[in-house]
């Protein structure tokens, strides 16, 4: 039992020392034509049958932690049944704690339109292997979520996904 104590303490210290600042890259949204939906519930709960695949035209963002690891996310904004959806994928490179930090970054990310937050928590973005970093996630399938906003109320090209700037904490 005592032999594990130094490891646990060093893991905790490492996790806390890896809390860092994430600089967001400038991100732009890209409107993508949505495939037809299959309505298995009322229209308000419609789902997307075929989610978009990441292309070079998708918006992007991410950051790095002083050589310890990084995160990259890609996203698109689509219209489905006159409703605005955000679709995305992300990956991170680094230790287990850095990957946990990447999940926390996505949990705290928000989608905004003209300065107004329209969706919080991008943790629904599809998490993929860091082997896709070399292609900037191009060709990766995304996951989508409705913003609950009408395309009449929120222009698709006004939406940006942004990460929290500042410190993040990860529990180990």
Q: Each residue of 36-88: pLDDT tens digit? A: 322 222 223 334 556 899 999 999 999 887 767 889 999 999 999 889 999 99
Tokens of 127: 């998490």
Q: Is residue 29 assigned to a domain?
A: yes
Q: Is residue 122 assigned to a domain?
A: yes
Orientation of helix 4-17 relative to helix 96-108, angle to 10°: 40
Say if pTM beats, i.e. exceeds, 0.75. no
R_g of the chain computed on alpha carbons: 18
Q: Is residue 77 assigned to a domain?
A: yes
d(C-alpha 149, C-alpha 84), whole Å? 6
Higher pLDDT, 143 or 11: 143
Q: Is residue 22 assigned to a domain?
A: yes
Q: Is residue 102 assigned to a domain?
A: yes
Which residue range is the domain that position 75 belongs to?
A: 4-162
Q: Is residue 168 assigned to a domain?
A: no
Q: Is residue 12 assigned to a domain?
A: yes
Identify whether the C-beta of residue 22 lies closer than 8 Å to the C-beta of residue 171. no
Number of domains forming the structure of the chain: 1
Q: What are the Cα distances from residue 5, in Å, to 2, 10, 11, 15, 128?
A: 5, 9, 10, 15, 33
Q: Is residue 49 assigned to a domain?
A: yes
pLDDT per position as a tens digit, 75-130: 999 999 889 999 999 999 888 877 888 898 999 999 999 989 999 999 999 999 99
d(C-alpha 130, C-alpha 81), whole Å? 33
């Amino acid at each position: 039992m005592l032999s594990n104590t130094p490891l646990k303490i060093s893991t905790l210290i490492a996790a806390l020392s890896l809390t860092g600042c994430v600089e967001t890259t400038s991100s732009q949204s890209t409107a993508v034509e949505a495939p037809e939906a299959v309505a298995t519930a009322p229209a308000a709960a419609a789902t997307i049958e075929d989610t978009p695949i990441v292309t070079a035209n998708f918006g992007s963002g991410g950051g790095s932690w002083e050589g310890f690891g990084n995160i990259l996310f890609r996203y698109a904004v689509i219209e489905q049944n006159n409703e605005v959806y955000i679709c995305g994928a992300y990956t991170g490179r680094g230790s287990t704690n850095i990957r946990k930090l990447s999940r926390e970054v996505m949990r705290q990310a928000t989608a905004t339109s003209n300065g107004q937050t329209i969706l919080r928590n991008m943790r629904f973005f599809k998490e993929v292997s860091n082997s896709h970093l070399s292609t900037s996630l191009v060709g990766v399938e995304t996951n989508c979520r409705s913003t609950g906003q009408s395309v009449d109320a929120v222009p698709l090209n006004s939406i940006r996904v942004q990460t929290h700037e500042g410190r993040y904490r990860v529990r180990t």
